[in-house]
């Protein structure tokens, strides 16, 4: 465990006008929009949003055990969540890209059950959860959206669960990442890994040496091209094929 990283810097709180404008690009709201929210409903949502960050790489966003009061949508950057087991080893629980929501698993115990750390420069939209659920009683669409969001994450967790081979896990990881980037309008075939090999290893429950070896072999077999953290998927079909067992689709 490294100590805290660079000191936390926050942007000056934007005034409400700004918040609404600024946030109109934020994924959570846009998801709500696409759920058929009208403008006035959306602005109700916006008054309880707060922009936080930027967080510098290595800076913690919250820590295990912190009291929970807000969920957050990633606006920019990548967030890693992890816990440290009793042997001092890091178990990575997930990576969150722009548009994805952190903290949903904290509602239950009213405490964050894991640490969240910025992998690069991260900015967030923070939603007060008490206010949000209050608002959800008046906006059934919002309630619905929250239920779906939560339900979705239950299934997502079992991606890691099965007993899959290293190849299957790695392929699934890359394909999932690719799809998530593509869904946000980035290239799905050529992107940068924002996380270290060891992070990937801890996430996939492999040794970092295995991650290296598998990536090497994938490259030798012409499935992809990887240099440092820059990946290019060359044979998407075969990767999808390998990932199918894990992703179930």
Partner DNA sequence: AACGCCGCTTGACCTAGGTCAGAGCCAAAC
Partner DNA sequence: GTTTGGCTCTGACCTAGGTCAAGCGGCGTT
Which positions touch DNA (CB under 7 A)? 163-167, 196-198, 205-213, 215-216, 226, 228-229
Q: How far is the CB of 134 from a second copy (least distance, A)?
A: 7
Please give the structure tokens belonging to residue 155.
């299934």
Residue 39 touches which member of a second copy, DNA, none, C-beta under 5-8 Å by kind: none
As measured in angstroms, the least distance from the Cβ of 206 to DNA is 4
Binding partner of residue 198 among DNA, a second copy, none, CB under 5 to 8 Å per kind? DNA
63 binds a second copy (CB under 8 A): no
Closest to a second copy by CB, 108 vs 228, is: 108
From the list 157, 231, 235, 245, the residue with the least C-alpha distance to 197 is 231
For DNA, which is the closer residue by CB, 128 or 212? 212
Q: Does 36 bind a second copy (CB under 8 A)?
A: no
Check residue 237 for interaction with a second copy (CB under 8 A): no
d(CA 198, CA 106): 25
Supply 38's token pair. 């009208």
- 213 phi and psi angles, rounded to 5 deg: -60, -45
Binding residue for a second copy, selected from 41, 93, 178, 194, defined by CB under 8 A: 93
Nearer residue to a second copy within complex by CB, 67 or 162: 162
Q: Is 133 in the site for a second copy (CB under 8 A)?
A: yes
The angle subtended at Cα 93 by Cα 90 and Cα 96, nearest 5°, is 120
Q: Considering CB under 8 A, how many residues would be counted as binding a second copy?
A: 40
Q: Which range touches a second copy (CB under 8 A), out of 21-29, 99-107, 188-196, 222-230? A: 99-107
* Contact positions vs a second copy (CB under 8 A): 83, 85-87, 91, 93, 104-108, 113, 133-134, 136-138, 140, 143-144, 146-155, 157-158, 160-163, 205, 244-245, 248
């Amino acid at each position: 465990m490294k100590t805290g990283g660079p000191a936390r810097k926050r942007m000056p709180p934007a005034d409400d006008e700004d918040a609404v404008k600024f946030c109109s690009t934020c994924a959570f709201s846009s998801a709500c929009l696409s759920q058929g929210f009208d403008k006035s409903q959306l602005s109700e949502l916006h008054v309880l949003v707060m922009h936080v960050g930027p967080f510098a790489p290595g800076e913690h966003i919250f820590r295990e055990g912190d009291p929970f009061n807000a969920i957050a949508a990633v606006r920019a950057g990548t967030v890693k969540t992890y816990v440290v087991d009793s042997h001092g080893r890091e178990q990575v629980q997930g990576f969150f890209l722009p548009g994805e929501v952190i903290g949903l698993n904290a509602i239950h115990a009213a405490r964050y059950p894991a640490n969240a750390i910025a992998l690069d420069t991260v900015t967030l939209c923070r939603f007060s959860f008490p206010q949000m659920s209050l608002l959800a009683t008046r906006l059934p669409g919002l309630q619905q959206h929250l239920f779906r969001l939560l339900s979705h994450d239950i299934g997502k967790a079992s991606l890691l669960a099965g007993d899959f081979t290293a190849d299957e896990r790695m392929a699934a990881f890359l394909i999932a990442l690719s799809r998530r980037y593509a869904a946000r309008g980035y290239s799905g075939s050529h992107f940068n890994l924002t996380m270290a090999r060891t992070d990937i290893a801890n996430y996939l429950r492999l040794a970092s040496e295995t991650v290296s070896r598998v990536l090497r072999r994938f490259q030798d077999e012409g499935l992809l091209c990887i240099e440092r953290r820059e990946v290019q998927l060359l044979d998407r079909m075969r990767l999808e094929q390998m990932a199918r067992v894990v992703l179930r689709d």
